[in-house]
Amino acid sequence: MLPVMNTIENFLWTDDFLLGYQPMDDTHREFVELVNAMLAADDAGFPALLDRFSEHALAHFEHERIWMQESNFPATDCHVDEHGAVMKSVEQVRMIVATGNITEGRRLARELAKWFPGHADYMDASLAQWMVKRNTGGAPIVLRRGAAKQEA
């Protein structure tokens, strides 16, 4: 299988993003779909997609905050702060896009595509591990398509 090639105009789901906690993986799939839709949108369609993304991000970050809070996750504050910084940018750019400046919206979509892999890998991954351990007593097992090497 060919690896998924993500470029700045193309942000596609790859199983490398799987973290093994199903509710989070489902949310992350939606995040990737919406950012990719923004990258592909024409000017007329962009503002509505940005609104949908903003709704998604609010729910996405709130779910993670609740998981952290309810489970006494040790590193809650910096994770919540990072979500807050993203949400602030999204709301600022929404106001700019509402004036007809779609270029700023596209720039945000590219920034979100750059931001997500690092955030997921670092902050969300440790939360996913924590949640799975708490729910099952073990670390998550992540099965990624194409991860198993075939013997020659």
Q: Which residue is nearest to Fe ion (CB)?
A: 124
| All residues at 6 or more sequence positions from 143 whose CB lies less than 8 Å from its CB, including other chains | 18
Q: How many residues does the chain have?
A: 152
Binding mask 33-72 for Fe ion (x = CB under 5 A): -------------------------------x--------
Smallest distance from Fe ion to CB 60, Å: 6
Which residue among 17, 124, 125, 140 contacts Fe ion (CB under 5 A)?
124
- For residues 68 and 79, the answer to whether their CB atoms sit within 8 Å is yes
Smallest distance from Fe ion to CB 40, Å: 22
CB neighbour class for 149 (10 Å; exposed up to 12, middle 13-18, buried from 19): exposed
Which CB sits closer to Fe ion, 33 or 104? 33
Residue type, 144: R
Does 25 contact Fe ion by CB under 5 A? no
Query: How many Cβ atoms from other residues are within 10 Å of residue 58's Cβ?
Result: 14
Which CB sits closer to Fe ion, 20 or 47? 20
Smallest distance from Fe ion to CB 19, Å: 9
Which CB sits closer to Fe ion, 11 or 64? 64
Burial track 85-105 (b if 16+ CB lie within 10 A, e otherwise):
ebbeebeebbeebeeeebeeb
Smallest distance from Fe ion to CB 102, Å: 26
Q: Tokens 């440790």 correspond to what residue?
A: 126
Smallest distance from Fe ion to CB 90, Å: 14
Q: Which residues contribute to the site for Fe ion (CB under 5 A)?
A: 64, 124
